[in-house]
Structure 1
Amino acid sequence: MTSRTIAGTPVATAAGESDEHDREQVLAQYRRERARRVLVLDSLRAHLDEQPSPRAVRTCARTWVADLLALAEQVAKNKMEHPE
Protein backbone atom coordinates (compact mmCIF):
# COMPACT_ATOMS: atom_id res chain seq x y z
CA MET A 1 0.00 0.00 0.00
CA THR A 2 1.21 3.52 -0.70
CA SER A 3 0.31 6.91 0.67
CA ARG A 4 1.24 10.39 -0.47
CA THR A 5 3.46 12.80 1.38
CA ILE A 6 2.85 16.53 1.38
CA ALA A 7 5.04 16.87 -1.73
CA GLY A 8 2.93 14.21 -3.46
CA THR A 9 5.65 11.57 -3.65
CA PRO A 10 4.38 8.04 -3.04
CA VAL A 11 5.70 6.45 0.13
CA ALA A 12 5.33 2.73 0.83
CA THR A 13 3.52 1.86 4.04
CA ALA A 14 3.27 -1.50 5.69
CA ALA A 15 -0.11 -3.21 5.56
CA GLY A 16 0.08 -3.56 9.33
CA GLU A 17 0.06 0.21 9.75
CA SER A 18 -3.18 0.46 7.80
CA ASP A 19 -4.78 -2.35 9.84
CA GLU A 20 -3.67 -0.68 13.07
CA HIS A 21 -5.11 2.65 11.90
CA ASP A 22 -8.44 1.00 11.03
CA ARG A 23 -8.54 -0.71 14.42
CA GLU A 24 -7.85 2.58 16.20
CA GLN A 25 -10.66 4.25 14.26
CA VAL A 26 -13.12 1.49 15.17
CA LEU A 27 -12.11 1.68 18.83
CA ALA A 28 -12.43 5.46 18.84
CA GLN A 29 -15.91 5.24 17.34
CA TYR A 30 -16.89 2.59 19.91
CA ARG A 31 -15.69 4.83 22.74
CA ARG A 32 -17.65 7.82 21.37
CA GLU A 33 -20.83 5.77 21.04
CA ARG A 34 -20.37 4.28 24.52
CA ALA A 35 -19.79 7.72 26.03
CA ARG A 36 -22.94 9.05 24.35
CA ARG A 37 -24.96 6.12 25.67
CA VAL A 38 -23.65 6.57 29.22
CA LEU A 39 -24.34 10.31 29.08
CA VAL A 40 -27.93 9.77 27.92
CA LEU A 41 -28.65 7.02 30.45
CA ASP A 42 -27.14 9.07 33.29
CA SER A 43 -29.32 12.02 32.28
CA LEU A 44 -32.42 9.83 32.26
CA ARG A 45 -31.51 8.38 35.64
CA ALA A 46 -31.07 11.87 37.08
CA HIS A 47 -34.49 12.87 35.75
CA LEU A 48 -36.09 9.75 37.21
CA ASP A 49 -34.38 10.37 40.57
CA GLU A 50 -36.06 13.78 40.69
CA GLN A 51 -39.53 12.23 40.66
CA PRO A 52 -41.35 12.35 44.00
CA SER A 53 -42.73 8.79 44.16
CA PRO A 54 -42.27 5.31 42.71
CA ARG A 55 -45.48 5.78 40.74
CA ALA A 56 -44.19 9.05 39.27
CA VAL A 57 -40.89 7.34 38.35
CA ARG A 58 -42.73 4.62 36.44
CA THR A 59 -45.02 7.10 34.72
CA CYS A 60 -42.07 9.25 33.71
CA ALA A 61 -40.21 6.19 32.39
CA ARG A 62 -43.22 5.14 30.31
CA THR A 63 -43.36 8.65 28.85
CA TRP A 64 -39.66 8.52 27.95
CA VAL A 65 -40.12 5.10 26.33
CA ALA A 66 -43.12 6.29 24.29
CA ASP A 67 -41.19 9.38 23.16
CA LEU A 68 -38.16 7.29 22.20
CA LEU A 69 -40.26 4.83 20.21
CA ALA A 70 -42.01 7.69 18.38
CA LEU A 71 -38.63 9.22 17.58
CA ALA A 72 -37.34 5.87 16.30
CA GLU A 73 -40.36 5.54 14.02
CA GLN A 74 -39.74 9.03 12.60
CA VAL A 75 -36.06 8.28 11.95
CA ALA A 76 -36.86 4.90 10.37
CA LYS A 77 -39.52 6.47 8.14
CA ASN A 78 -37.10 9.19 7.07
CA LYS A 79 -34.45 6.59 6.22
CA MET A 80 -36.95 4.66 4.11
CA GLU A 81 -37.96 7.81 2.23
CA HIS A 82 -34.39 9.10 1.80
CA PRO A 83 -31.95 6.18 1.69
CA GLU A 84 -28.30 7.15 1.61
Structure 2
Amino acid sequence: MTRRPALGTLVATAAGESDMHERERMLAQYHRERARRVLVLDSIRAHLDEQPSPRAVRACARNWIADLLALADKVAKNKAEDTINTDDFGGAA
Protein backbone atom coordinates (compact mmCIF):
# COMPACT_ATOMS: atom_id res chain seq x y z
CA MET A 1 0.00 0.00 0.00
CA THR A 2 1.30 3.46 -0.95
CA ARG A 3 1.27 6.07 1.74
CA ARG A 4 0.20 9.58 0.71
CA PRO A 5 1.06 12.68 2.70
CA ALA A 6 -1.81 14.59 4.22
CA LEU A 7 -2.99 17.71 2.38
CA GLY A 8 -1.82 19.91 5.26
CA THR A 9 1.71 18.56 4.86
CA LEU A 10 1.78 19.51 1.17
CA VAL A 11 0.50 22.99 1.91
CA ALA A 12 3.06 23.45 4.69
CA THR A 13 5.86 22.26 2.39
CA ALA A 14 4.79 24.65 -0.38
CA ALA A 15 4.55 27.53 2.11
CA GLY A 16 7.97 26.66 3.52
CA GLU A 17 9.51 26.70 0.04
CA SER A 18 7.84 30.05 -0.65
CA ASP A 19 9.21 31.48 2.62
CA MET A 20 12.68 30.17 1.78
CA HIS A 21 12.53 31.75 -1.69
CA GLU A 22 11.40 35.07 -0.17
CA ARG A 23 14.26 34.99 2.37
CA GLU A 24 16.80 34.25 -0.37
CA ARG A 25 15.40 37.11 -2.47
CA MET A 26 15.56 39.54 0.46
CA LEU A 27 19.10 38.44 1.34
CA ALA A 28 20.24 38.95 -2.26
CA GLN A 29 18.66 42.41 -2.26
CA TYR A 30 20.42 43.25 1.01
CA HIS A 31 23.78 42.19 -0.45
CA ARG A 32 23.24 44.28 -3.61
CA GLU A 33 22.33 47.37 -1.59
CA ARG A 34 25.26 46.85 0.78
CA ALA A 35 27.69 46.44 -2.12
CA ARG A 36 26.43 49.63 -3.75
CA ARG A 37 26.82 51.54 -0.49
CA VAL A 38 30.37 50.28 0.04
CA LEU A 39 31.30 51.11 -3.56
CA VAL A 40 29.99 54.68 -3.23
CA LEU A 41 31.66 55.29 0.13
CA ASP A 42 34.95 53.85 -1.12
CA SER A 43 34.78 56.19 -4.12
CA ILE A 44 34.17 59.20 -1.87
CA ARG A 45 37.00 58.13 0.43
CA ALA A 46 39.36 57.83 -2.55
CA HIS A 47 38.40 61.35 -3.64
CA LEU A 48 38.97 62.70 -0.13
CA ASP A 49 42.37 60.93 0.03
CA GLU A 50 43.41 62.82 -3.10
CA GLN A 51 43.03 66.18 -1.35
CA PRO A 52 46.31 67.90 -0.45
CA SER A 53 45.53 69.05 3.11
CA PRO A 54 43.19 68.42 6.04
CA ARG A 55 41.47 71.72 5.27
CA ALA A 56 40.91 70.66 1.65
CA VAL A 57 39.55 67.29 2.81
CA ARG A 58 36.96 69.00 5.02
CA ALA A 59 35.99 71.45 2.27
CA CYS A 60 35.62 68.61 -0.19
CA ALA A 61 33.49 66.66 2.29
CA ARG A 62 31.23 69.70 2.75
CA ASN A 63 30.80 69.84 -1.03
CA TRP A 64 29.91 66.14 -1.16
CA ILE A 65 27.37 66.67 1.62
CA ALA A 66 25.82 69.69 -0.10
CA ASP A 67 25.57 67.80 -3.39
CA LEU A 68 24.02 64.79 -1.69
CA LEU A 69 21.45 66.89 0.15
CA ALA A 70 20.53 68.73 -3.06
CA LEU A 71 20.12 65.41 -4.83
CA ALA A 72 17.98 64.06 -1.98
CA ASP A 73 15.74 67.13 -2.16
CA LYS A 74 15.22 66.64 -5.90
CA VAL A 75 14.42 62.95 -5.51
CA ALA A 76 12.03 63.64 -2.63
CA LYS A 77 10.30 66.37 -4.64
CA ASN A 78 9.89 64.04 -7.63
CA LYS A 79 8.46 61.33 -5.40
CA ALA A 80 6.03 63.79 -3.83
CA GLU A 81 4.91 64.94 -7.29
CA ASP A 82 4.49 61.32 -8.41
CA THR A 83 2.36 60.62 -5.35
CA ILE A 84 0.19 63.67 -6.01
CA ASN A 85 -0.19 62.73 -9.69
CA THR A 86 -1.23 59.16 -8.93
CA ASP A 87 -3.65 60.32 -6.22
CA ASP A 88 -5.38 62.67 -8.67
CA PHE A 89 -6.20 59.80 -11.00
CA GLY A 90 -7.39 57.26 -8.50
CA GLY A 91 -4.10 55.42 -8.21
CA ALA A 92 -3.46 54.97 -11.94
CA ALA A 93 -0.16 56.32 -13.17
Shorter-chain TM-score range: 0.7 to 0.9
Larger Rg: 2
Which residues of structure 2 form unaligned runs of 5+?
Answer: 1-10, 87-93
In structure 2, the residue matched to 1:41 is 41
Equivalent pairs, count: 73
Q: Which ranges of 4 or more aligned residues in structure 1 deviate by more than 6 Å?
A: none
TM-score when normalising by structure 2 = 0.75
Which residues of structure 1 form unaligned runs of 5+?
Answer: 1-11
TM-score when normalising by structure 1 = 0.83
Shift of 1:14: 1.4
- Greater fraction of residues in helix: 2
In structure 2, the residue matched to 1:75 is 75
In structure 1, the residue matched to 2:17 is 17
CA RMSD of aligned residues (A): 1.4
Q: Which has the higher contact order (CA 8 A, sep 6+)?
A: 1
Matched, 1:59 2:59: yes
Three-state SS of the structure 2 residue aligned to 1:29 is: helix
In structure 1, the residue matched to 2:3 is none
